[in-house]
Amino acid sequence: MDPSNRLLLSGNEAVALAATQGSVALGTGYPGTPSTEILERFAALGGRAQWAPNEKVALEVGIGAAFGNARALVTMKHVGLNVAADPLFTAAYTGVQGALVIVSADDPGMSSSQNEQDNRRYAVAAGVPMLEPSDSQEAYEFTLLGIEISERWRIPVLLRMTTRVCHSKTVVRAPSSAPPPAPVPGYERDIPGRVMIPAYARPAHRRLREKLAQIAVWNEASGPNRRVEGSSGLGIITSGISYMHAREAAPEAAILKLGMTYPAPVETARAFASGVARCQVVEEGDPYLAETLLAAGVRVCGKPEMFRFGELNVDRVARLLAGDIAPEPAPRPGKPPQLCPGCPHRSVFQALRDLGCIVAGDIGCYTLGVLPPFEALDTCVCMGASIGVGLGLRHVLPPEQARRVVSVIGDSTFIHSGITGLVEMIYNPPPGGHLVLILDNGTTAMTGMQEHPGTGRTLDHHKTGKVVIEELARSLGIRRVHVMDPTLDPRAFARLAGECLDSGEPAVIVARRNCLLAAGRIKQYEKCDGEDG
Amino acid sequence: MAKTARVTNIVIAGLGGQGVLKASDITADAAFRTGLDVKKSEIHGMSQRGGSVTSDIRFGECVLSPMVPAGAADYLVVVSPDEVENNRGRLRPGGVLIAPGLIDESKLASKRSLNVALLGVLSTYLDIPESEWLAALRSNLPEHLVEANLKAFAAGRLTRSL
Q: In what order do the strands lie in the sheet with B73-78?
A: A6-10, A169-173, B37-42, B52-60, B8-15, B73-78, B91-98
Residues of A in contact with B45 (CB under 8 A): 33-34, 111-112, 446-447
> Which is more confidently placed, B51 or A221?
A221
The CA–CA distances, whole Å, from A419 to A49, A391, A410, A512, B34 equal 24, 14, 12, 17, 53
Residues of B in contact with A315 (CB under 8 A): 69-70
Local structure of residue A457 (DSSP, 8 states): B
A360 and A433 inside one domain: yes
> So what's the pLDDT on residue A338?
86
> So what's the pLDDT on residue A176?
65
Contact between A320 and A328 (Cβ < 8 Å): no
Q: How far apart are CA B152 and CA B146, in angstroms?
A: 10
pLDDT of A41 > 60? The answer is yes
Contact between B39 and A164 (Cβ < 8 Å): no
Q: Could you tell me which chain B residue has the CA closest to the CA of A170?
A: B39
Q: How far apart are CA A357 and CA A493, in angstroms?
A: 14
Does A328 fall in a domain? Answer: no
Backbone angles phi, psi at A145, to 5 degrees: -65, -40
A310 and A195 inside one domain: no
Q: Does B105 touch chain A (CB under 8 A)?
A: no
Does A334 fall in a domain? Answer: no
> So what's the pLDDT on residue A175?
82
Question: How far, in whole angstroms, is CA B137 from its chain's centroid?
Answer: 12
Surface-to-core class of residue A415, CB atoms within 10 Å of its CB (0-12 exposed, 13-18 middle, 19+ buried):
buried
A100 and A165 inside one domain: yes
A169 and A242 inside one domain: no
Cβ of A171 within 8 Å of Cβ of B82? The answer is no
Contact between A258 and A225 (Cβ < 8 Å): yes
Q: Does A448 touch chain B (CB under 8 A)?
A: yes
A205 and A234 inside one domain: no
> Which is more confidently placed, B86 or A331?
B86
Q: How far apart are CA A40 and CA A49, in angstroms?
A: 7
CATH number at residue A355: 3.40.50.970
Surface-to-core class of residue A214, CB atoms within 10 Å of its CB (0-12 exposed, 13-18 middle, 19+ buried):
middle
Last residue of a domain, one of A189, A222, A255: A222
Q: Does B34 touch chain A (CB under 8 A)?
A: no
Tell me whether strands B52-60 and B8-15 are parallel, antiparallel or unpaired.
antiparallel
A218 and A245 inside one domain: no
* pLDDT above 90: percentage of residues in chain A: 93
Does A194 fall in a domain? Answer: yes
Digit-coded pLDDT (tens) for A150-190:
999 999 999 999 999 999 999 999 886 677 788 999 999 99
What confidence tier does A1 reach under pLDDT thresholds 50, 70, 90?
very low
Digit-coded pLDDT (tens) for A85-123:
999 999 999 999 999 999 999 999 998 899 999 999 999
Q: Is A51 helix (H, G, I), strand (E, B) or coil?
A: strand
Q: Could you tell me which chain B residue has the CA closest to the CA of A343?
A: B49
Q: Distance between terminal CA atoms of chain B?
A: 25
Q: Could you tell me which chain A residue has the CA closest to the CA of B16?
A: A337
A186 and A269 inside one domain: no
Residues of A in contact with B16 (CB under 8 A): 337
What average pLDDT does this structure show over A368-378? 93
Last residue of a domain, one of A289, A322, A355: A322
Q: Which of A314, A335, A368 sits opposite B65 (nearest CB)?
A: A314
Surface-to-core class of residue A48, CB atoms within 10 Å of its CB (0-12 exposed, 13-18 middle, 19+ buried):
middle
A237 forms beta bridges with A256, A281
Cβ of A112 within 8 Å of Cβ of B44? The answer is yes
pLDDT of A2 > 70? The answer is no
Local structure of residue A176 (DSSP, 8 states): S
What confidence tier does A331 reach under pLDDT thresholds 50, 70, 90?
confident
Nearest 5°: CA angle at A97, between A91 and A99?
80
What average pLDDT does this structure show over A59-78? 98
> So what's the pLDDT on residue A74?
98
- Test mutation, A33, A36, A165, A171, chain B, max B CBs within 10 A: A171
Residues of A in contact with B66 (CB under 8 A): 135, 164, 168, 170, 241, 244
A217 and A230 inside one domain: no
Question: How far, in whole angstroms, is CA A223 from its chain's centroid?
Answer: 26
Cβ of A338 within 8 Å of Cβ of B50? The answer is yes
Q: Could you tell me which chain A residue has the CA closest to the CA of B24?
A: A169
- The alpha carbon of residue A250 is apart from the nearest alpha carbon of chain B, in Å, by 11
Q: Which of B29, B49, B70 sits opposite A315 (nearest CB)?
A: B70
Cβ of B69 within 8 Å of Cβ of A336? The answer is no
Q: Does B4 touch chain A (CB under 8 A)?
A: no
Digit-coded pLDDT (tens) for A415-458:
999 999 999 999 999 999 999 999 999 999 999 999 999 999 99
Q: How far apart are CA A299 and CA A30, in angstroms?
A: 41
Does A338 fall in a domain? Answer: no
> Going from the N-terminus, what domains does chain B have, and what CATH number goes with each?
8-161 (3.40.920.10)
Neighbouring residues of B85: CB distance < 8 A, sequence distance ≥ 6: none
Question: How far, in whole angstroms, is CA A160 from its chain's centroid?
Answer: 10
Q: How many domains does chain A have?
A: 3
A129 and A19 inside one domain: yes
- The alpha carbon of residue B70 is apart from the nearest alpha carbon of chain A, in Å, by 7
Does A336 fall in a domain? Answer: no
Cβ of A170 within 8 Å of Cβ of B47? The answer is no
Chains A, B: CB contacts under 8 A, how many? 103
Q: Could you tell me which chain B residue has the CA closest to the CA of A364?
A: B46
Does A15 fall in a domain? Answer: yes
- Test mutation, B41, B63, B79, chain A, max A CBs within 10 A: B41
Q: How far apart are CA A27 and CA A52, in angstroms?
A: 10
Q: How far apart are CA A495 and CA B88, in angstroms?
A: 49
Q: Is A273 helix (H, G, I), strand (E, B) or coil?
A: helix
> Is the ipTM, as predicted for this complex, more than 0.90?
yes
Contact between A497 and A435 (Cβ < 8 Å): yes
Q: How far apart are CA A152 and CA A342, in angstroms?
A: 53
A442 and A470 inside one domain: yes
Q: Report cis status (omega within 30 of 0) of the bond before A373.
A: yes
Give the range of the structural domain holding residue A246, as residue numbers without chain letter.
226-322
CB atoms within 10 A of CB A221: 10
Does A335 fall in a domain? Answer: no
What radius of gyration, in Å, describes the C-alpha atoms of chain B?
14
Cβ of B44 within 8 Å of Cβ of A135? The answer is no
What average pLDDT does this structure show over A307-314? 97
Backbone angles phi, psi at A156, to 5 degrees: -65, 145
The CA–CA distances, whole Å, from B38 to A12, A178, B12, B29, B138 equal 17, 26, 15, 8, 19
Cβ of B69 within 8 Å of Cβ of A244? The answer is no
In this structure, is the dihedral angle defined by the CA atoms of residues B138, B143, B147 and B152, taken in order, positive or negative? negative
> So what's the pLDDT on residue A301?
98
pLDDT tens per residue, chain B (162 residues)? 344 469 999 999 999 889 999 999 999 999 999 999 999 998 765 555 778 899 999 999 999 999 999 999 999 999 999 999 999 999 999 999 999 999 988 888 888 999 999 999 999 999 999 999 999 999 999 999 999 999 999 999 999 865
- The alpha carbon of residue A374 is apart from the nearest alpha carbon of chain B, in Å, by 16
A134 and A148 inside one domain: yes
A8 forms beta bridges with A171
CATH number at residue A253: 3.40.50.920
Q: Could you tell me which chain B residue has the CA closest to the CA of A315?
A: B69
Last residue of a domain, one of A195, A222, A249: A222
Average pLDDT, chain A: 96
What b/e sequence results for A301-325 when a residue is b if at least 16 CB atoms lie within 10 Å of its CB, and e otherwise?
Answer: bbbeeebbebbbbbbbbbbbbeeee
A368 and A470 inside one domain: yes
Q: Is A173 helix (H, G, I), strand (E, B) or coil?
A: strand
Does A362 fall in a domain? Answer: yes
Contact between A191 and A136 (Cβ < 8 Å): no
